[in-house]
């Protein structure tokens, strides 16, 4: 199925007909698959057709095993200590510190086959993929396969919902008090983000510190909702909320500056947003637990939230935990 297509929000989308380079260019017609980079580049591809997901042929994914990390364990631990120094100096309260795993390839791997494998063995709420053949987005082609468990934004008419994840462990018994405090901090950031575009008094924390099981781990999820001000545009929504609070830090702008200074490579689609806008509705995931391919390189990002109470070795292990199962799926033969 080597053609430009997407599976997102439970729909198989085909026939791309337009590309938007900003949220302001999104129209009410068609199915807009959003791909927003962490660094701020925005693209939305409008697909003309929506199809059933049933009876799709099973395809084979060629294993990828030559992974390398943008940060070694020693380098990551040093950066955790540096972030903690910045916290103690009052520059930030929390920073999401990430590393990127890459594999250089001499072929274009099969996005559809990888998505099928992940959907069968590691299904999450926002699993999906976007495959763009050369000539659609650019001359080299691009794809992203998402196993994201995290809701960035859901919009239905005037209602907007976000469900940040902060706190990840193998079992509930291993969840730390630090994880709970961090989740509350990020939830408050989301309240503030939504408050910029919400009707006065409408921002609500619907659920706080909900323990959610996904394959191989547990995580803490909180849910925040609001009623949008009349006439709120997609541009205003993205300006207020992007990049997601859970993958930046607090305060958001200070954390972004520190991330840019410390992380040796750009995150790109990792920690951005991926999902679907149709009319006045949207379902957008945070671009985590995702594979991204472009120009003969496959990428996978992983990270952890750093606070003054973080154990550096424990934060490294969290990045390992988040990557282990999905990298294994991409590295195994059928």
DSSP codes joined into one string, 116-146: HHHHHHS--TEEEEEEE-TTSSSSS-EEEEE
pLDDT given for residue 109 in this prediction: 95
Chain centroid, CA 108 distance in Å: 22
Cβ neighbours around 149 below 10 Å, total: 24
Fold classification of 5-331 (topology level): Anthranilate synthase (3.60.120)
pLDDT given for residue 57 in this prediction: 83
pLDDT given for residue 163 in this prediction: 98
pLDDT given for residue 140 in this prediction: 84
From residue 297, how far is each of 107, 268, 320 by CA, in Å?
9, 13, 21
Which residue(s) pair with 306 in the sheet?
95
pLDDT given for residue 56 in this prediction: 78
pLDDT given for residue 137 in this prediction: 84
Q: Say if CB 250 and CB 87 are below 8 A apart.
A: no
pLDDT given for residue 2 in this prediction: 55
pLDDT given for residue 53 in this prediction: 82
In tens digits, the chain (334 residues) has pLDDT values of 559 999 999 899 999 999 999 999 999 998 999 999 999 999 999 999 998 887 778 899 999 999 999 999 999 999 999 999 999 999 999 999 999 999 999 999 999 999 999 999 998 999 999 999 988 888 788 999 999 999 999 999 999 999 999 999 999 999 999 999 999 999 999 999 999 999 999 999 999 999 999 989 999 999 999 999 999 999 999 999 999 999 999 999 999 999 999 999 999 999 999 999 999 999 999 999 999 999 999 999 999 999 999 999 999 999 999 999 999 999 998 7
Q: Say if CB 20 and CB 41 are below 8 A apart.
A: no
| Cβ-Cβ contacts under 8 Å for 35 (sequence gap 6 or more) | 42, 43, 44, 45, 130, 144, 269, 272, 273, 274
Domains in the chain: boundaries: 5-331
Q: What is the DSSP letter of 290?
A: E
Phi, psi of 216 (to 5 degrees): 85, -5
From residue 293, how far is each of 43, 99, 228, 303 by CA, in Å?
16, 16, 35, 19
């Amino acid at each position: 199925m080597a053609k430009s297509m997407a599976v997102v929000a439970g729909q198989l989308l085909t026939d791309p007909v337009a590309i938007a380079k900003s949220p302001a260019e999104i129209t009410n017609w068609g199915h807009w698959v959003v791909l927003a980079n962490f660094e701020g580049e925005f693209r939305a591809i409008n697909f003309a057709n929506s199809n059933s997901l049933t009876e799709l042929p099973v395809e084979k994914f060629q294993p990828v095993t030559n992974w390398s990390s943008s940060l070694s364990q020693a380098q990551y631990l040093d950066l955790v200590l540096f972030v903690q120094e910045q916290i103690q100096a009052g520059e930030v309260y929390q920073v999401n510190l990430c590393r990127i795993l890459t594999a250089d390839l001499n072929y274009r791997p099969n996005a559809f086959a990888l998505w099928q494998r992940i959907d069968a063995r590691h299904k999450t709420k926002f699993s999906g993929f976007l495959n763009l053949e050369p000539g659609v987005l650019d001359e080299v082609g691009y794809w992203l396969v998402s196993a994201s468990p995290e809701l960035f934004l859901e919009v239905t008419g005037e209602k907007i919902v976000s469900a940040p994840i902060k706190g990840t462990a193998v079992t509930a018994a291993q969840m730390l008090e630090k994880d709970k405090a961090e989740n509350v901090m990020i939830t408050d950031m989301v309240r503030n983000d939504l408050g910029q575009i919400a009707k006065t008094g409408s921002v609500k924390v619907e659920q706080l510190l909900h323990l959610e099981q996904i394959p191989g781990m547990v995580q803490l999820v909180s849910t925040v909702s609001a009623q949008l001000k009349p006439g709120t545009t997609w541009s205003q929504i993205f300006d207020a909320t992007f990049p997601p609070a859970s993958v930046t830090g607090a305060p958001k702008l200070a954390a972004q500056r520190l991330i840019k200074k410390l992380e040796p490579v750009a995150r790109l689609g990792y920690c951005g947003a991926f999902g679907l806008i149709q009319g006045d509705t949207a379902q957008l995931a945070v671009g985590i637990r995702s594979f991204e391919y472009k120009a003969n390189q496959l990428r996978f990002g992983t990270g952890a939230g750093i606070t003054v109470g973080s154990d550096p070795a424990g934060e490294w292990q969290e990045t390992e935990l988040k990557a282990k199962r999905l990298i294994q799926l991409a590295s195994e033969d059928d």
